[in-house]
Structure 1
């Protein structure tokens, strides 16, 4: 009985020591902002969507009443019959008929050209331009040095004393892009977190065991990129997956819409 009690005491003591060690570890707290540009064009419809659209068109046609154009066309036909009999209104007959309007509209439609969805920036694969992949969500990343290596990451920065994480995120946007670049951050709470431990040499230099990155989600509204930011990209989901570190992207993808 005493032996078992002693073993329990040793286990409890060890657990307390390990717990105190974990709580004494210092982590850098970082706010990062996932800036997303929404699509400006609707993506191509799937087969299911096309079939559903045809069904809705059929139901609408079955339930619809005559349009103004159809009523006017019927009146024109009655007017034409009356003119043949010599009873019609000549002034009314000289006006543009519904059929004349239909023919003119059809000719105008033939001259109309739909703008291409593939832009010049798409053809040149200009990843710095917002005028590309107009039917996709694009996320902003910029090259940053972590340790001795360069990585493409979201705009981020260390939390300062007296700030909460949301305030740090606002400051990151302002310091990174300046006042002309507008982003609407959604919510005061982060929507994701990613943590990693520093390598040995960096751990001693930073006096921290690693970094905890708290992600905030924001929508790009308007403005231009600061000219001081030379190396950046606007990437869709597949490009983002190929560019970012696996663990980093995995946390990020948990709150991004899957477009596949």
Structure 2
């Protein structure tokens, strides 16, 4: 007889776009150059050109540009350059609020993996430390299927126990995305098989993920990138199986 477990692959999507690789940057530069060569001026660029031409004409005629600009009822309140400065200020304010958390390894070096508000340019996966029988080990969160329960009903119950309402967890589909099986010896020496079926789930990417309901609190769960999974999973066959469906994209 097999013991059947249903598990969740809980993902926190990337919050910001990842940095481009050197090859991607070269392709981007090439496409940008081609687009520039084949494109017409945008409305903003036309406005900026007209602003420059109007101010140049005013200077040529000996007018005070600032005084004339204020007196002209037909002129816009902001020039195109003023708008660019405003947009740049908004961008700087955004990155000041975000800080370097999305692109640095500071949180990882300090061991702060019990939060989803790290590695914002990468997708993260929730791993928990659970006791299955006598074994206490890291893995994806699972719950045993008993009675007339289905895989979907079990993972829904698991999500309710594990994640708070503000996580806005969404379970995708009814079919598992991956399966792992193994055998162990019971106390009477019999061979017992275990099958684990995993379903995809996503949480709100702006949720910080610090209040996961597990035993031991922050010491019993972590938000891991694909590369960091090997720091937690000791079963290499299990790790190999997980990496078939937990990928960066």
What TM-score does the superposition give when structure 2 sets the normalisation length?
A: 0.76
SS state of the match for residue 134, structure 1?
Answer: coil
RMSD of aligned residue pairs (Cα, Å) = 3.3
SS state of the match for residue 209, structure 1?
Answer: strand
Unaligned runs of 5+ in 1: 1-25
* Whole-angstrom CA distance in 2 between matches of 1:158 and 1:241: 24
SS state of the match for residue 150, structure 1?
Answer: strand
Going from structure 1 to structure 2, the CA distance change for 1:99 and 1:27 (only over 3 Å counts) comes to: closer
SS state of the match for residue 61, structure 2?
Answer: helix
2:237 to 239, 247, 253: 247
Retained in 2: the 8 A contact 1:203–1:210? no
Retained in 2: the 8 A contact 1:33–1:169? yes
SS state of the match for residue 115, structure 2?
Answer: coil
SS state of the match for residue 50, structure 2?
Answer: helix
Q: Does 1:219 align with 2:219?
A: no
Q: CA deviation at 1:118?
A: 2.7
Partner of residue 91, structure 1: 68
Going from structure 1 to structure 2, the CA distance change for 1:121 and 1:225 (only over 3 Å counts) comes to: same
Partner of residue 170, structure 2: 184
CA-to-partner distance for each residue in 1:151-178, whole Å, 9 max, x for gaps? 1011111112122111111111112335
SS state of the match for residue 198, structure 1?
Answer: strand
Q: CA deviation at 1:188?
A: 0.9
What TM-score does the superposition give when structure 1 sets the normalisation length?
A: 0.73
Going from structure 1 to structure 2, the CA distance change for 1:198 and 1:182 (only over 3 Å counts) comes to: farther
CA-to-partner distance for each residue in 1:20-59, whole Å, 9 max, x for gaps? xxxxxx1111101011111222222111111122122212
Partner of residue 237, structure 1: 226
* Whole-angstrom CA distance in 2 between matches of 1:216 and 1:99: 50
Going from structure 1 to structure 2, the CA distance change for 1:136 and 1:227 (only over 3 Å counts) comes to: same
1:165 to 151, 163, 172: 151
Q: Name whichever structure is richer in helix by fraction.
A: 1
| Bigger Rg over Cα | 1
Retained in 1: the 8 A contact 2:104–2:119? yes
Partner of residue 67, structure 1: 46
Q: CA deviation at 1:227?
A: 6.6
* Whole-angstrom CA distance in 1 between matches of 2:123 and 2:225: 6
Unaligned runs of 5+ in 2: none
CA-to-partner distance for each residue in 1:83-140, whole Å, 9 max, x for gaps? 46xxx9x6347678959848x939x76x947432337534412111112222222111
Partner of residue 78, structure 1: 57
Q: CA deviation at 1:190?
A: 0.5
